Amino acid sequence: MEYKEPEALQSSDKLNCSSIDTSGKSNFTKTQESTNDLLYCDLKSAYTNNSNLINTKKINVKTYKNIDDYEIDRNDISYQLTPQQIKAAQLKKKQEDYLEQQRLSRISERDSIQEQHYNRMHQKMLGNTS
């Protein structure tokens, strides 16, 4: 089982999106035209076209008779990270720390500029022309 940590999405008015034109279309699936495109699949196509579904013959799906069986299975999960997972987590932490330092640096720089501007305007309002 591969687990990928959830990542926050940045909300912005610069998101690449498209409007759906409903005139004469029977399938609204959007394929990848460039690397920044938002992809989506027509709901009808997703449920009728088997190529979009998971092949259950290739995946071992466990079934449980009751909640106790499920809990027993869950208790057997190992939470020990592999060396690759530890390295990836450390690398991700380093990158997050670096990005946070950059963000704090930009905020500090902006605060300094605003403070200087405020001090100049304050001096002008007091009548000091220096």
Q: Per residue in 106-123, pLDDT tens?
A: 999 999 999 999 999 999
Q: Please indicate, yes or no, if residue 2 is contained in any of the structural domains.
A: no
**Cα 130 to Cα 117: distance, rounded to the nearest angstrom:** 13
**Contact between residue 20 and residue 28 where contact means Cβ atoms under 8 Å apart:** yes
- Direct distance between the N- and C-terminal alpha carbons of the chain, in angstroms, rounded to an integer: 67
Q: Please indicate, yes or no, if residue 23 is contained in any of the structural domains.
A: no
Q: Please indicate, yes or no, if residue 100 is contained in any of the structural domains.
A: yes
**Prediction pTM value:** 0.43
Q: Please indicate, yes or no, if residue 27 is contained in any of the structural domains.
A: no
Q: Per residue in 71-105, pLDDT tens?
A: 988 888 878 888 998 999 999 999 999 999 999 99
pLDDT of res. 113: 94
pLDDT of res. 20: 46
Percent of the chain with pLDDT over 90: 35
Question: Mind giving me the DSSP string for 10-24?
Answer: PP-TT--------TT
Which segment of 12-16, 64-68, 114-118 scores lowest on mean pLDDT? Answer: 12-16
Q: Please indicate, yes or no, if residue 115 is contained in any of the structural domains.
A: yes
Tally of domains in the chain: 1
Q: Please indicate, yes or no, if residue 72 is contained in any of the structural domains.
A: yes
Q: Please indicate, yes or no, if residue 36 is contained in any of the structural domains.
A: no
Q: What's the rounded mean pLDDT across residues 28-34?
A: 66
Long-range Cβ pairs for the range 58-63 (8 Å, 24+): none
The residue segments making up the domain with residue 114 are: 43-126
